[in-house]
Structure 1
Amino acid sequence: MNNTFMKERPVFPLLMSMALPNVISMLVNSLYNIVDSLFVARINESAMTALSLVFPVQNLLNAIAIGFGIGINALVALCLGAGEHEKADQAATHGMAFSLLHGILGSAIAIAIMPSFLGRFTTDAEVLSMGLTYSHIVFGFATVNMASLAFEKIFQSVGRMKVTMVALIVGCVGNIILDPLLIFGIGPFPAMGIAGAALATGIGQALSTGVYLVVYASTELPVRLRRACLKLDKELDTRLYSIGIPAILNLALPSLLVTFLNSLLAAFSGSYVVVLGIYYKLQTFLYLPANGIVQGMRPLISYNYGAGEHKRVRQLYQITLILSAAIMAAGTLGCLVASEPLMRLFTSTPETVEAGKIALRIICLGFVISAISTTSSGALEGLGKGTQSLVISLCRYIVFIMPLAWVLCRQFGPVGVWNAFWATEVLSAIVSLIVYKKSV
């Protein structure tokens, strides 16, 4: 089986065939994130606060899984594009082995640090108890999640996007079905509360992994995981991490940002911490579909770059940018028109709803222009230029937004934090264009 179609088919239909399964799966994943939060919010606001406080560490582990997976994805596709099939098998095998190791270490460390981590943000005994219960269960599945996401990137690297779509949908739908059963104790299931939400998440991840294992064992792929490829290869492993580490940092930076912003907002009221958590749940409904297009673009850019098709690389970047901007424009309109109904999905507290309305209407002003940063960063990762991609993410999540939020917060209160979001996107877009043009 070969995948030369990645450099032969017309660019736009090729990108759409690769991106649409990702967009669909990302929309389903976004729906799961929102539905999961809706069920947790029905427990009480303390449960929602606990979920918001655990989110940064949970996002960090996902960042490690996805970021290192991007390294696997890019290197496998680059090797296949250059006709180096043995190297592609080695990259996939080493990538899976390291992913499993990351899962074991990540699970142990995350569980160990959670008591002190949560204690930095709240002294509420109920919130602390719920946060620890949720985190201990969900982090126990970290190794399963790492394996699932490594398989996802391997399948994407060879153009098998429909498989990754099915695997993600199976996991998310299973999670959505299990949420009310395990949280509220419907039928023969015991009422587990927030522990049920965590267990449903873990079982959903296991279902996705199961799909990949079945498909891998029963079909033929251009790359295979082989025991003979496990021998140490310093050059290959260095290339994996040189792409993967910047990608991990790119995805982990939001966790650092959320932790920083929580510390600013908690000084005013716990309601603002809830608002920030709700915003990040809602924004996944936009950024995950847009990321689905970037995921479809990334292996195509890698393969075509490896094959020397530089004109197609430029076309892929331009089309992805336009499609991402269109998705973000729809999100902007939705936040401006329906900010109150969106907030009421998660909370009925009048003060929280009002604060959330203001936050959504301000933050969404930066959505469209953020497409420049996300597309440029994804394209650079596909080209194997992880450090340049990291520069863009550092601007978005640290260099600009943290000082702006700190200064504006002291001048205008929580509203200043919301304004720091769109201002950061404008500044980061300028940097992104400069970095991308110099790199490519």
Structure 2
Amino acid sequence: MEERELSQNKMGTARMFPLILSMAVPAMFSMLVQALYNIVDSYFVSQVSEKGLAAISLAFPIQNLLIAFGVGTAVGVTSLISRRLGQGRQDEADSAATHGILLSLCTYVLFALYGAFFTTPFFRMFESDPEIVQMGDTYISICCIFSFGLFVEISLEKILQATGNMIWPMIFQLVGAVSNIILDPILIFGMFGMPAMGVAGAAIATVGGQIIAMIFSIVVVVLREHAVRITFRGFRPHWRTVRDIYTVGLPAIVMQSIGTVMTMALNGILSAFSTAAYTVFGLYFKLQSFVFMPVFGLTQGLMPIMGYNYGARNKKRLLSALKQGCVIALIIMTLGLLVFLLFPAQLLGIFNASRELLEIGVPALRIIASCFLFAALGIVSSTLFQAVGRGVYSLIVSLMRQLVVLVPAAWVLARITGEVNAVWWAFPIAEVFSLIASIFLFLRLYRKEIRVLETARER
């Protein structure tokens, strides 16, 4: 019981900046490793063929959808657990954790069915080359059918993060990422007696790493004491808990799924120019993960702090977490901006980029990177909205960033100019509009709820 009290109290009493660092740095580190294995996956495939790289780029929206449902549901669980702990309602926090595991398994079944029966039509929408279609179909079918490791590991990771425990979730992610990195060359090229499987090997390495991480996380959760308990003995579904989870989780799912719709739409716009154009777009998402993943790791540390102090009605600490989170996010994004502006050719060179990829990719990276600073503030504000249970606000901001403004702007720029480089300017345009929306929604939230919170005495 003492461990439970300590994990709860530190979010309401510890000095804010050291607290954010202690909770965010492990997540930021593990997210950087996640970004590394995303890069490694594409790097090894690029050594096999450029068509394989194109197939993985086209597969990205479905992979993003897998993560959207897994993380989105888990975000709803994280928000509910942290708020219930802040309110001192332990039994309800435990119930939310158990519900989260079962909901993740239900979601897995849907994706397994999709992977078994419905992947080929997706690739045929964007590509007529049968080799690219076949490789993409193989890759994403494996990723979907065996995605149970992804869903269970994400759920356990987010449940522990909700309690303020960031070390074990970091280790879970490291185990999965390192396993993937080790398996990639073995299965793609055929090493140590294994056959060379190319793109299929990359997919098997991906799900293999996820399953290994899942097994490790289950062992840790079962054998160690944590601030919430997951138990299925005598369990009965509580529909109010499910509703409370998806009040935040469903907008989070939609918010992250918007990325899939956006990617599909932009792939359609870019494929009218060339295969290289949408391949560059896919490579950009691999590369930008080194910048965005640490910010997402930061928000993993911020969300339970914000949710706990909102539940405890501590306005001062809630706003302090928001302000310091914005500063840290801006520093990270500034460093990323400088790298993308100064070294775009070197970044693309990681993937054995052809001359055509470089001609399109170098200006693309520089133009898109101009939106990084706006994105930093939008991401942190969205985290605040999720932490206090206003998932719809996050959804509105994400719609502005990734769909309502971005896709129409890209389509108009492509039609008016006929130049692929013009399409990339849709990204900074969308970020400016979404930041304006974020400021408006924050001021609305502040006037209606945050302003009237009682401020607990700072220790």
TM-score category by the smaller chain?
over 0.9
Post-superposition shift, 1:129?
Answer: 1.0
Question: Matches of 1:429 and 1:402 in 2, distance apart?
Answer: 17
Post-superposition shift, 1:125?
Answer: 1.1
Partner-residue secondary structure (3-state), 2:63: helix
Question: Matches of 1:112 and 1:380 in 2, distance apart?
Answer: 37
* 1:50 equivalent in alignment to 2:55: yes
Question: Matches of 1:273 and 1:136 in 2, distance apart?
Answer: 21
Post-superposition shift, 1:345?
Answer: 1.2
Deviations 1:328-385 (A, max 9, x none): 1111100111001111111331011110001001111111111111111111111111
Which one of the candidate residues 177, 187, 193 is aligned to 2:192?
A: 187
Q: Contact (CA 8 Å) 2:414, 2:422: kept in 1 or not?
A: yes
Match of residue 389 from structure 2: 384
Aligned counterparts, 1:84-99, within 5 A: 84-99=89-104
Which one of the candidate residues 413, 430, 433 is aligned to 1:424?
A: 430
Letter in 1 for 2:83: L
Q: Contact (CA 8 Å) 2:115, 2:145: kept in 1 or not?
A: no
Question: Matches of 1:122 and 1:230 in 2, distance apart?
Answer: 47
* 1:434 equivalent in alignment to 2:440: yes
Deviations 1:366-410 (A, max 9, x none): 111111111111111111110111110010011111111111111
* 1:155 equivalent in alignment to 2:160: yes
Letter in 2 for 1:341: Q
Match of residue 59 from structure 1: 64
Question: Matches of 2:139 and 2:300 in 1, distance apart?
Answer: 30
Structure 2: tracts of 5 or more residues without a match: 447-459
Q: Contact (CA 8 Å) 1:89, 1:225: kept in 2 or not?
A: yes
Match of residue 323 from structure 1: 328
Question: Matches of 1:227 and 1:290 in 2, distance apart?
Answer: 34
Question: Matches of 1:230 and 1:419 in 2, distance apart?
Answer: 52
Match of residue 453 from structure 2: none
* 1:415 equivalent in alignment to 2:421: yes
Match of residue 352 from structure 1: 357
Post-superposition shift, 1:76?
Answer: 0.7
Question: Matches of 1:141 and 1:319 in 2, distance apart?
Answer: 39
Deviations 1:300-332 (A, max 9, x none): 111111111111010001111111111111111
Question: Matches of 2:356 and 2:123 in 1, distance apart?
Answer: 24
Post-superposition shift, 1:430?
Answer: 1.1
Match of residue 176 from structure 1: 181
Question: Matches of 1:201 and 1:7 in 2, distance apart?
Answer: 38
Post-superposition shift, 1:229?
Answer: 6.3
Partner-residue secondary structure (3-state), 2:104: helix
Q: Percent identity?
A: 38
Question: Matches of 1:354 and 1:343 in 2, distance apart?
Answer: 10
Question: Matches of 1:34 and 1:232 in 2, distance apart?
Answer: 40
* 1:165 equivalent in alignment to 2:157: no
Question: Matches of 1:195 and 1:402 in 2, distance apart?
Answer: 31
| Greater displacement, 109-118 / 35-44 | 109-118
TM-score, length basis structure 1: 0.98
Structure 1: tracts of 5 or more residues without a match: none
Match of residue 282 from structure 1: 287
Q: Contact (CA 8 Å) 1:167, 1:212: kept in 2 or not?
A: yes
Match of residue 41 from structure 2: 36
Aligned counterparts, 1:93-132, within 5 A: 93-132=98-137
Deviations 1:239-258 (A, max 9, x none): 11111000011111111101
Post-superposition shift, 1:138?
Answer: 1.3
Q: Contact (CA 8 Å) 1:94, 1:229: kept in 2 or not?
A: no
Q: Contact (CA 8 Å) 1:89, 1:229: kept in 2 or not?
A: no
Letter in 1 for 2:406: I
* 1:78 equivalent in alignment to 2:83: yes
Letter in 1 for 2:175: V
Deviations 1:32-66 (A, max 9, x none): 11111100111101101110111101110110000
Post-superposition shift, 1:228?
Answer: 4.5
TM-score, length basis structure 2: 0.94
Deviations 1:140-197 (A, max 9, x none): 2222211110001101011111101111111101110110011001122211111110
Question: Matches of 2:86 and 2:262 in 1, distance apart?
Answer: 37
Post-superposition shift, 1:68?
Answer: 0.5
